[in-house]
Amino acid sequence: MNKFDAEGFERMMARMKAESEVPGDGPMTEFAPAEAPLVRAGDIHGRAVAYTWHHGMIEWTDSRNKVHFDWFPAELIKRTGKNDDKGAL
């Protein structure tokens, strides 16, 4: 990312915000970018990018093409294994 990459900067800031709110249930472990699984949590379809013992951080793009990162309880997260999911990165 360079300082003129507005989309990359927005993505980085969204990730930093989510990482600042790591649930206090253990250390955060990140997936390698090529190994991040496609997942679903309710109506959210995206990639799991990090996890703790009981939570997972999902990255997804909304209908306005804005990138989001948020933590979800592990029991809500299901692997989809499909590469054609809507909103998957």
Residues of the chain with pLDDT under 70: 1-3, 82-89
Counting the structural domains of the chain, the total is: 1
Q: Is 85 a member of any domain?
A: no
Q: Is 45 a member of any domain?
A: yes
Q: Is 1 a member of any domain?
A: no
Q: Is 86 a member of any domain?
A: no
Task: Give residue-wise pLDDT tens across range 64-75.
Answer: 999 999 999 999
Q: Is 43 a member of any domain?
A: yes
Q: Which residues fall within 8 angstroms of residue 76, CB to CB, at 6 or more apart?
A: 41, 42
- Tell me if 49 sits within 8 A of 31, measured CB to CB: yes
Q: Is 21 a member of any domain?
A: yes
Q: Whole-prediction pTM value?
A: 0.81
Q: Is 73 a member of any domain?
A: yes
Residue 89 has which token pair? 């990165």
Expressed as residue numbers, the domain containing 72 is: 6-79
Q: Is 87 a member of any domain?
A: no
